[in-house]
């Protein structure tokens, strides 16, 4: 094998070798000349000439090869030789073969005087936490503080142990917002030790507060304690009346910075691809799981045993404050999720194609097959993620409800039609995101009107044609088209939710086009 020596030693060795070879060639030429003088035969003379030429050519070749590592022709440097540096050639080749990947351009860091550190603990399901994260980023930006990556709820009904980085791309979250706010994965060591010892100010902020509350009440606390921990962060920033830049930042976080992990994104693309292979599809957010019915007290279509089970569950959770509930009155007020049977009638009345694929974005439907039969009869192409994917694909998502919800969220965004049967957090946030993506068709069912029409139809007071016409008229302006957000200054809980209709972000500003960040 060839051994590459030190460059200086190699040059000296090459020089000595070249001189020796040159001397050897001269001796051989002299011998051949003396032989040629003595030769008398013409054939012998010709042979001696050829031999002399070959010796001279070979001598020149060996000398050039020996010195080629330093100054020889390029063609010689490509030949495998004990005198050439193969490792250098291989390195050059490897560099040439590397793909030309453009470097990611990060926004410049925003430079500001840090007023302290803000820790937040989110509560609720995925989309309740999602909107809270957007609010907390905006608040941290306007208080000029450093935000610690939010902690997700692990103690709610779903008991999902997922950390922030299990659901969201944490590196993208931090770097994509660096021109607005400094975000760290954890506190600096000295402050972290203080918090672990219990020296931290913890409090829930006041619901539906505007940014002045945080500037006047929360900022002084951060400056005093250096670290403030806000818990129960859902619905803590007002829907309307906030600075335009703050509203735009809430959207930037929601639609750009909160990207799901590559694993969740890839699986979402796979599900959408499988659905697209069979044509258009509708996503039905059928909010008819056991916890929803127990919380709301809605028992339409349930038998006595099921009603008793749901009531026990409602009393088992002390933070569910409403215990005694009249299901019939609540349903008539439009405050109950539609049942699977009611949903089937509504979709048929709206002339939704019988053959369309319907992806059920929900957990386990309470009552199982018995409650789903009427919907399956009307729309036989019902699918779920569990039917489209194999057990191996979902094994890492089992017992992680927020990760499952993230998958449903991605599919919901890509659907041709999105239909929620209850205006919960997922329904609202998906509605707003689909508006942002170009006002994609979202049918917002008016439950109060629907249950009244359904009761009249099932009682025989309306024919099918009358029922269908009335349902269509009711929902003609409820398809996710542009609309003004309803503002009720004294009753923020009753006004339109910012994340369902973030109208400040749906029109481009003077210098910024609306697009996915």
* Tens of pLDDT, residues 390-415: 999 998 888 899 999 999 999 999 99
Of 95-109, 245-259, 486-500, minimum mean pLDDT range: 95-109
Q: What pLDDT is recorded for position 158? A: 73
| Residue 21 clears pLDDT 60, i.e. is over it | no
Average pLDDT over every residue of 32-61: 58
507 pLDDT band, cuts 50/70/90, is confident
Q: How far apart are CA 167 and CA 404, in angstroms?
A: 10
Q: What pLDDT is recorded for position 396? A: 85
Give the dihedral sign, CA 496/501/507/511: positive
Q: How far apart are CA 428 and CA 444, in angstroms?
A: 10
140 pLDDT band, cuts 50/70/90, is very high
Side-chain-side CA neighbours of 3 within 13 Å: the count stands at 4
| Residue 34 clears pLDDT 70, i.e. is over it | no
471: three-class secondary structure by DSSP: helix
Q: What pLDDT is recorded for position 93? A: 38
- Retrieve residue 82's tokens: 């004990």
Q: What pLDDT is recorded for position 42? A: 59
348 pLDDT band, cuts 50/70/90, is very high
Q: Going edge to edge, which strands form the sheet with 417-420?
A: 382-383, 357-360, 281-285, 417-420
Alpha helices in 203-289 (DSSP H): 211-213, 219-225, 244-252, 262-276
Q: Is 506 exposed, middle or buried (0-12, 13-18, 19+ CB in 10 A)?
A: middle
Q: What pLDDT is recorded for position 100? A: 57
Q: What pLDDT is recorded for position 7? A: 45
Average pLDDT over every residue of 287-313: 96
Q: How far apart are CA 421 and CA 428, in angstroms?
A: 11
| Residue 12 clears pLDDT 70, i.e. is over it | no
Average pLDDT over every residue of 14-35: 46
Average pLDDT over every residue of 18-38: 47
Side-chain-side CA neighbours of 69 within 13 Å: the count stands at 23
170 pLDDT band, cuts 50/70/90, is very high
20 pLDDT band, cuts 50/70/90, is very low
Q: What pLDDT is recorded for position 506? A: 92
| Residue 165 clears pLDDT 50, i.e. is over it | yes
Residue showing tokens 């509708």: 282
Residue showing tokens 């916890």: 291
Beta bridge partners of 260: 168
Which residues, 6 or more positions from 111, have their beta carbon under 8 angstroms from its beta carbon? Answer: none
19 pLDDT band, cuts 50/70/90, is very low
| Residue 74 clears pLDDT 90, i.e. is over it | no
Taking the complete model, does pTM exceed 0.85, yes or no?
Answer: no
Q: How far apart are CA 145 and CA 226, in angstroms?
A: 10
Residue showing tokens 């599919």: 411
Beta strands of 54-112 (E only): which ranges?
none
| Residue 32 clears pLDDT 60, i.e. is over it | no
Q: 29 with 55: CB under 8 angstroms?
A: yes
Q: How far apart are CA 255 and CA 230, in angstroms?
A: 23
Chain centroid to Cα 140, Å, comes to 22
Average pLDDT over every residue of 23-37: 47
Q: How far apart are CA 468 and CA 44, in angstroms?
A: 115
Rg of the chain over Cα atoms, rounded to whole angstroms, equals 37
The one-character DSSP state at 177 is: T
Residue showing tokens 């989110």: 122
- Retrieve residue 207's tokens: 């619901």
| Residue 313 clears pLDDT 70, i.e. is over it | yes
Of 39-43, 282-286, 299-303, 363-367, minimum mean pLDDT range: 39-43
Q: What pLDDT is recorded for position 193? A: 95
92 pLDDT band, cuts 50/70/90, is very low
Q: φ, ψ for residue 355 (rounded to 5)?
A: -95, 5
Q: How far apart are CA 477 and CA 497, in angstroms?
A: 18
Q: What percent of the chain has pLDDT over 90?
A: 73
Of 64-78, 155-169, 287-301, minimum mean pLDDT range: 64-78
Q: How far apart are CA 237 and CA 256, in angstroms?
A: 20
Q: How far apart are CA 412 and CA 418, in angstroms?
A: 6
Torsion of CA 399, 299, 325, 208, to 10 degrees: 50
56 pLDDT band, cuts 50/70/90, is low
Q: φ, ψ for residue 499 (rounded to 5)?
A: -75, -10
Q: How far apart are CA 214 and CA 379, in angstroms?
A: 50
Q: 431 with 500: CB under 8 angstroms?
A: yes
Chain mean pLDDT for the chain: 85
Q: What pLDDT is recorded for position 399? A: 83
């Amino acid at each position: 094998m060839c051994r590459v020596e030190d460059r200086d030693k190699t040059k000296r060795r090459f020089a000595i070798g070249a001189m020796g070879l040159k001397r050897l060639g001269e001796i051989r030429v002299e011998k051949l000349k003396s032989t040629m003088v003595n030769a008398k035969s013409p054939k012998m003379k010709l042979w001696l000439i050829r031999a002399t030429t070959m010796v001279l050519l070979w001598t020149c070749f060996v000398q050039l090869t020996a010195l080629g590592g330093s100054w020889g022709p390029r063609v010689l440097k490509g030949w495998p030789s004990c005198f050439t540096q193969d490792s250098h050639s291989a390195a050059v080749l490897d560099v040439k073969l590397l793909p030309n990947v453009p470097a990611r351009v990060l926004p410049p860091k925003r430079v500001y005087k840090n007023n302290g550190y803000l820790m937040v603990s989110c509560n609720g399901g995925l989309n309740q936490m999602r909107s809270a994260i957007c609010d907390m980023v905006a608040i941290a930006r306007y208080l000029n503080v450093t935000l610690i990556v939010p902690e997700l709820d692990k103690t709610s009904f779903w008991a999902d142990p997922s950390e922030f980085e299990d659901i969201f791309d944490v590196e993208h979250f931090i770097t994509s917002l660096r021109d607005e706010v400094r975000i760290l994965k954890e506190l600096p060591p000295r402050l972290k030790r203080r918090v672990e010892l219990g020296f931290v100010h913890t409090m829930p902020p006041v619901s539906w507060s505007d940014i002045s509350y945080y500037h006047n009440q929360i900022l002084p606390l951060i400056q005093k304690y250096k670290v403030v921990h806000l818990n129960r962060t859902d619905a803590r920033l007002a829907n309307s009346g906030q600075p335009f830049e703050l509203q735009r930042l809430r959207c930037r976080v929601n639609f750009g910075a909160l990207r799901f992990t590559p694993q969740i994104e890839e699986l979402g693309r796979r599900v959408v691809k499988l659905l697209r292979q069979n044509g258009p599809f509708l996503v039905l957010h059928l909010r008819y799981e056991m916890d929803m019915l127990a919380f709301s007290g809605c028992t339409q279509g349930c038998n006595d045993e099921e009603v008793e089970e749901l009531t026990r569950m409602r009393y088992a959770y002390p933070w569910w404050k409403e215990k005694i509930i009249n299901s019939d009155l609540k349903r008539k007020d439009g405050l109950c999720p539609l049942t699977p049977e009611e949903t089937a009638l509504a979709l048929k009345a709206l002339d939704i194609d019988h053959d369309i694929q319907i992806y059920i974005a929900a957990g386990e439907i309470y009552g199982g097959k018995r409650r789903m039969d009427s919907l399956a009869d009307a729309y036989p192409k019902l699918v779920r993620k569990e039917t489209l994917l194999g057990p191996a694909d979902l094994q890492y998502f089992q017992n992680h409800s927020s990760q499952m919800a993230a998958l449903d969220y991605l599919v919901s965004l890509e659907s041709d039609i999105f239909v929620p049967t209850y205006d919960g957090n997922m329904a609202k946030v998906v509605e707003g995101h689909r508006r942002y993506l170009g006002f994609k068709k979202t049918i917002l069912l008016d439950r109060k009107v629907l249950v009244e029409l359904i009761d009249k139809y099932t009682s025989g007071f309306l024919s099918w044609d009358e029922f269908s016409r009335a349902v269509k008229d009711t929902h003609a302006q409820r398809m996710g088209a542009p609309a003004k957000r309803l503002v009720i200054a004294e009753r923020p809980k009753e006004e339109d939710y910012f994340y369902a209709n973030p109208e400040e972000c749906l029109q481009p500003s003077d210098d910024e086009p609306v697009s996915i960040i």
